[in-house]
């Protein structure tokens, strides 16, 4: 089934100038970009976004991290894209992520050597249909999302 999912490129991705490489990864996997913007996230929006983690010890540091610099918000669509995008992003802990995933490829050393314990793992992606719907409407107005056809549709989406 065709699904849409929310992806955030976190401040470390922008600082490290990986925007193009990461978006290319999704496009080359046959996923379609329905929404795309560079922004500085409001603390209240990030707190809502991560509300499932609000009792966890890392909550204040992940909120601080996500508001520390520009981020890119994306809506990505494709056949079973929610699970597919999670796989492409890789394990939460970059050291455990598959080498060919975004986190495995570009963030594998970040926790220990660079961040003092904050998991700077480059990307966020929605983990199920319910959170995808919630997160897409948290970060995007409807008028910012576009549907369009592509000659690749027949190859990747069925
Ligand atoms: O992002 P993902 O869904 O893979 O992981 P999560 O368990 O939902 O955690 C959200 C984010 O909080 C992670 O991506 C990390 O940036 C951060 N986190 C952290 O800094 N330290 C942890 N022990 C767990 C998560
Ligand atoms: Mg999560």
C-alpha distances in angstroms, 14 versus 76, 89, 117?
A: 18, 16, 20
Would you say the CB of residue 122 lies under 6 angstroms from ligand 1? no
C-alpha distances in angstroms, 88 versus 5, 20, 123?
A: 13, 15, 10
Q: How confident is the prediction for the chain on average, in pLDDT?
A: 94
Q: Is the dihedral of CA 45, 41, 35, 6 positive or negative?
A: negative
How confident is residue 158, by pLDDT bands cut at 50, 70 and 90?
Answer: low
Q: Which atom of ligand 1 is nearest to the CA of 118?
A: 20
Distance between CA atoms of 126 and 67, rounded to whole angstroms?
19
The CATH number of whichever domain residue 13 belongs to comes to 3.30.70.141
14 within a domain of the structure (yes/no): yes
Distance between CA atoms of 93 and 157, rounded to whole angstroms?
30
Q: Are 3 and 82 in contact (CB under 8 A)?
A: yes
Distance between CA atoms of 158 and 156, rounded to whole angstroms?
7
pTM above 0.75, yes or no: yes
Q: How many domains does the chain have?
A: 1
Per-residue model confidence (pLDDT) at position 154 = 80
Q: How far is the CA of 28 from the centre of ligand 2 (A)?
A: 24
How confident is residue 8, by pLDDT bands cut at 50, 70 and 90?
Answer: very high
Beta carbons within 8 Å of 148's beta carbon, 6+ residues apart? 32
Would you say the CB of residue 121 lies under 6 angstroms from ligand 1? yes
Would you say the CB of residue 47 lies under 6 angstroms from ligand 1? no
Q: How far is the CA of 151 from the centre of ligand 1 (A)?
A: 36
123 within a domain of the structure (yes/no): yes
Report the side by side order of strands in the sheet with 2-9. 32-39, 71-79, 2-9, 123-125
Q: How far is the CA of 125 from the centre of ligand 2 (A)?
A: 7
Per-residue model confidence (pLDDT) at position 152 = 83
Task: Identify the weakest region by mean pLDDT among 8-22, 49-63, 96-110, 132-146.
Answer: 96-110
Per-residue model confidence (pLDDT) at position 110 = 77
For the cut 70, the answer to whether the pLDDT of residue 125 exceeds it is yes
150 within a domain of the structure (yes/no): no
Domain with 19 in it: 2-139
For the cut 70, the answer to whether the pLDDT of residue 115 exceeds it is no
User: Average pLDDT for residues 102-110, to the nearest whole number?
Assistant: 89
How confident is residue 116, by pLDDT bands cut at 50, 70 and 90?
Answer: low
148 within a domain of the structure (yes/no): no
Per-residue model confidence (pLDDT) at position 113 = 63
39 within a domain of the structure (yes/no): yes
27 within a domain of the structure (yes/no): yes
149 within a domain of the structure (yes/no): no
Helix %, strand %, coil % of the chain (to 5)? 45, 20, 35
151 within a domain of the structure (yes/no): no
Task: Tell me if residue 109 falls in helix, strand or coil.
Answer: coil
Enumerate the active-site residues. Answer: 124
């Amino acid at each position: 089934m065709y699904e849409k999912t929310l992806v955030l490129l976190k401040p470390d991705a922008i600082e490290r100038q990986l925007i193009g490489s990461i978006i290319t990864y999704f496009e080359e996997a046959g996923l379609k970009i329905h929404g795309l913007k560079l922004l500085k996230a409001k603390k209240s929006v990030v707190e809502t976004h991560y509300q499932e983690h609000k009792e966890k010890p890392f909550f204040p540091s992940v909120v601080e991290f996500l508001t520390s610099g520009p981020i890119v918000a994306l809506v990505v669509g494709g056949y079973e894209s929610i699970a597919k995008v999670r796989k492409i992003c890789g394990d939460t802990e970059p050291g455990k992520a598959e080498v060919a995933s975004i986190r495995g490829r570009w963030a594998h050393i970040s926790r220990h050597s660079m961040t003092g314990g904050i998991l700077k793992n480059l990307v966020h992606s929605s983990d199920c249909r319910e959170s995808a719907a919630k997160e897409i409407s948290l970060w995007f107005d409807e008028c910012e999302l576009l549907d369009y056809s592509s000659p690749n549709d027949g190859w990747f989406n069925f």
